[in-house]
Amino acid sequence: MPKSIFSISAFCIVTLLFACGIASKKEESISSWATEFCDTTQRLEKLQIIDLVLPFSQTDTLKYLLVKVPKVFVAITENGQVIQSSAITAATFQDRPVFIEHLDSLPKADTLTWLDHTYLWALVDRPDYPYDRYKKLLANTRAIFLAKRDSMMRTYGLQAPKYTLRVQSDLRGHGNQQRYLTMGKSVTPLSQHNFGLATDIVISYKKTPLRGIQFYKTFLSHIGSQYGLTWGGSFLGFIDPNHVQYFKNSSEMLQQFPEPRFEFESYTKYFKNRVRRMTDAGKAPKVEDTRALLNRLHELHKGKSCSCDTLAERPTPRFISTLLSQFQKAGYQSSQDILLIGDTNSQTVTIFHPSGLQKTLKLGKWQ
């Protein structure tokens, strides 16, 4: 075989073995978070709302460019035609979105769920607390947690009346969590605090906060375990003596409530890097919970959509730009509203943002 032909053939083979710059190892019988990759050679049979939103919700920068509360239009196209469309809006950035019923000139949408609305509005909303997005889902569990926490505090008060207890931190927003992470007061960008399922409690004696771990072990560990709560002093990777939470770890939370995986997806790189860094340093046992979280995320998104970190951007299909007039007749205003279009043929998602951004990304499947 001539050398030039051999080189071309080798290049083609290598190209086929790579998706998003990561070699595919389909012969491996075991796949995990450590070997997963975004395979753009695999097609999604049906595009879902979360598939369209996730590629553009990895950071919060776009939403802060919005001047007015927009409408969010979303559509699925196939063979050059809109086959499904919908739109939502709200009175303010903070309010829950509502469905816009009349979209003249566009096909009617399948009924979107409240969770679809939540994911779509994540391109717009500015909640400090992730709990606010999932209140409908988590409210009952939060009520159970608070009842257990308060009962635990009363029990301690009866057993040790010379000490006083107060809640130092309950719900925690993204901003505070990032500050805690930066200051070394936490090792995770997402805590159960963010979902209303954790509390920090201060124990005081004669108005002086106590710092000895033994006081918190008696209260939060011994008494807390009677109520099925997990004490932060038992964490392997980061000791948090005055912390108590509902679930053992985030993996367990996502086992019961998989919907908030949307919040964790953008931090997978952080979690993976932490596990690898700690493992290389001989501290693998300290990141068991993080490893469990990564395994759970892998279980949840394997075979579902992804957008590669590299080689993801594509030219916008020409026909999509020609559809803009249909959306304008339906009320879309390019200077104010967001338009999200997923195309099943090209397996791409395109965003038209009022900031002037227009971007198309190639979708693939997590393998």
As given in the structure block, the two tokens for residue 122 are 């994540």
- State residue 117's pLDDT score: 94
Say if CB 330 and CB 22 are below 8 A apart: no
For residue range 70-87, what is the model confidence (pLDDT) as tens digits?
A: 999 999 999 999 999 999
Residue written as token pair 């399948």: 110
Say if CB 87 and CB 331 are below 8 A apart: yes
Query: Which sequence spans correspond to the domains of the chain?
Result: 39-127+304-366, 135-258
As given in the structure block, the two tokens for residue 254 are 């996502």
- State residue 220's pLDDT score: 81
Burial class (CB in 10 A: 0-12, 13-18, 19+), 46: exposed
**Eight-class DSSP state of 76:** E
- State residue 59's pLDDT score: 63
H helix or E strand, kind and range, residue 340: strand 338-343
How would you label 186-224 residue by residue, b for 16+ Cβ within 10 Å and e otherwise? bbbbbbbbbbbbbbbbebeeeeeebeeeebbbbbbbebb
- Please give the Cα distance from 245 to 149 (Å, whole number): 9
As given in the structure block, the two tokens for residue 56 are 């553009």
- State residue 11's pLDDT score: 35
- Please give the Cα distance from 316 to 105 (Å, whole number): 22
Helix segments in the chain, DSSP class H: 3-16, 49-53, 114-121, 130-133, 135-159, 174-183, 213-216, 224-226, 250-256, 261-264, 268-280, 288-301, 318-322, 324-329
Count of alpha carbons within 13 angstroms of residue 130, beta-carbon side: 21
Instruction: Provide CATH code, domain 135-258.
Output: 3.30.1380.10
- State residue 9's pLDDT score: 37
Please give the single-letter amino acid code of residue 367.
Answer: Q
Say if CB 93 and CB 64 are below 8 A apart: no
Sign of CA dihedral 43, 47, 51, 52: positive
- Please give the Cα distance from 79 to 82 (Å, whole number): 9
- Please give the Cα distance from 323 to 350 (Å, whole number): 12
Q: What angle do CA 253, 187, 258 make, to 5 degrees?
A: 20
Q: What is the DSSP string of 145-203?
A: HHHHHHHHHHHHHHH-TTEEEEEEE-S--HHHHHHHHHHTS-S-SS-GGGGT-EEEEEE
Closest to 330 in 3D by CA, of 75, 47, 48: 75
Ranges of residues in the chain whose predicted pLDDT is under 70: 1-31, 58-60, 108-110, 309-311
Helix segments in 2-133, DSSP class H: 3-16, 49-53, 114-121, 130-133
Say if CB 244 and CB 231 are below 8 A apart: yes
- Please give the Cα distance from 365 to 367 (Å, whole number): 6
